[in-house]
Structure 1
Amino acid sequence: MEVFSGGGWGGFVLKEKLRLIKGRLRWWHQQHSQNLERKISQVNERIKSLDVKVEQLTLEEGGEVELHDLSVELLSLSKLNSSIQWQKSRVNWLREGDAKSKSFHGVMASRRRSNAIIALAMNNHIVEGVAPIKEAIFQHFLSHFRATVGNHPKIDNLAFKSLSVEAGADLVKQFQLEELKQAVWDCDSYKSPGPDGLNFGTS
């Protein structure tokens, strides 16, 4: 005979409920989850046999309803199988981890070590330590990219050749008709063909 206090009795009831739930879940798993691949294969074979009868016009009465029900069952079994496989993969991942994690972290650690700067030789002396190396690199690039102030050559006192006002005006005046005729008459008759391949001599 066992005597339970208030809290102890509640714990006993909860334990019994969990035991019953475990038994129900085991029964459900045996009825629905076990041999899923075999069940899917059997449903597929039955659907194929009914499809053959449909093509041969020998499908018996009620066969269309059975074919529809089998299609629904196949979809349900496939979804259940996919869900179980996904859950198994997550359990395996949580238990074993990613198989490539160790290799990946090893590669990253090796690359970090090879890229690490332990010491620098600057101005005939060795710089060591994280902070001194950072400061030395900063000062090195600062000196290269700092704007320098210097004397640049100027063109204020340089003398360039320039056209007179009259010559500059000749560059922008209108062409005369006689000038155009002279330019055309001076062209060789058998040179400079146009886009159509014809020149002055053949046009």
Structure 2
Amino acid sequence: MKRILWDQVRQLKHDKRILWEAQQISIITIYSPCEIQSKRILWDQVRQLKHSLSRDLWCICGDFNSIRDLAERFGICQRGLGTKDIKEFNDWIDDLELVEAPWLGRNFTWFRPNGTSRSKLDRFLLSPKWHDRWSASTQSTLPRNFSNHCPVMLRSSSVNWGLKPFRILDCWLSDKSFKETVINCWTSNQQPGWGGYVLKEKIKRLKQRLKTWNREQFGDTLRRVKMIEEELNKLEEDTSQRQLTTQEKLKLKQLQEALRSAAQAHESLLRQKAKVKWIKQGDCNSRYFHMMLNANRRNNNMKGVMVNGTWCHDPSKVKEEVRAFFSKRFQESDYYRPRLDGICFQKINQHQNDMLTAPFQEEEIKQATWE
């Protein structure tokens, strides 16, 4: 088993350089033994190989003959359900800094022929940089035939689910031009109509104005940081052999302040997207926030729905199925309302109606307040 693994890895390393979108990726295929001692040897070999190569895009896939949770095995197991083996497997995955791609389809990938047990033994494990590059990566189980294992397919396809909701970013609030933009947009046009309609139209106009402001003035936070860094480094290189002039000193100070402000805005954006606080919004750990951001994207991403026993991932069909589900959910099954036909209610006369709708008099207010 060890020799087969190393032969496969050596062949992959030297002969199987795969170019995908001009990116070199490293793939290791696994066929793990059943005994835990042999598994440890295999895990250690994979660990050594991954640490010896300075590559970012890793995919380790195949039959690991191990489960990550007790829920991934059902039925009779001849080797027992040891939590220690599960912990060792999960620790190995964490040590390699790998993440399992989200699953679609069946819950199990291996089935005993007599139907007494089933397990999830096959999977794709991806590096964080892989998820950064192809964040929509998912793995799905396909129908099996004579084999005890189901084929598992890894795919990465960005699906357009339509317009995204508008959100205010925390980093906008620290920008001086943000408040001015909001005030100018809110007070520039006076919309006629009743209060609720005026408020709706003002918010609608403000949303479009902030989108334009973010695109044309505020810009990409990371790109702003890099642009300021380049300009700052260029200034320092140009003046490395002489003293700075008064104007250059002023420009240097402005660039340093701009860099600090842009870096804080980018860190704030990462915190908000990751929806976590790092030491009470203190020092930035960008790699940690990127990993949390990708994890939230994987968890919140809707891959599809099951429609009449068939998996569907077409956006238009998924939207229609979701709409139909909630429409039925909030629809009354028994539409019955009691009627009050034939019942005569007492009515007030015109004089009483005038008294109820008349403006309050000053004497009435004094009497109600002081007496």
Q: TM-score, normalised by structure 2?
A: 0.22
Please tell me whether Structure 1 or Structure 2 has the larger radius of gyration of its CA atoms. 1
Higher strand share: 2
Higher helix share: 1
Q: TM-score, normalised by structure 1?
A: 0.38
